[in-house]
């Protein structure tokens, strides 16, 4: 588990969030620099990238 403290980064951090419903969409997001966050119970994978 990673705990982020916003004060360590000079204030709050903002993210661009995307979801992927297929393996191909997930691969495209990873190639675009997004980080995997989780997969929900419906099978949708969530990704984020710093703005």
The residue ranges of every structural domain in the chain are: 14-50
Sort residue 43 into left (φ over 0), alpha (ψ -120 to 50) or beta.
Answer: left
State the Rg of the chain over Cα. Answer: 12
pLDDT at position 7 over 70: no
pLDDT of residue 45: 96
pLDDT at position 4 over 90: no
Reported as a pLDDT band with limits 50, 70 and 90, residue 1 is very low
pLDDT at position 51 over 90: no
Q: pLDDT tens across 10-50, in order?
A: 656 788 999 999 999 999 999 999 999 999 999 999 999 98
Helical spans, DSSP H, in the chain: 23-31
């Amino acid at each position: 588990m990673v705990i982020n403290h916003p004060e360590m980064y000079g204030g709050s951090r903002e993210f661009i969030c995307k979801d992927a419903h297929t393996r191909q969409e997930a691969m495209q997001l990873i190639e675009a620099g997004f980080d995997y966050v989780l997969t929900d119970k419906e099978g949708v994978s969530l990704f984020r990238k710093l703005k």
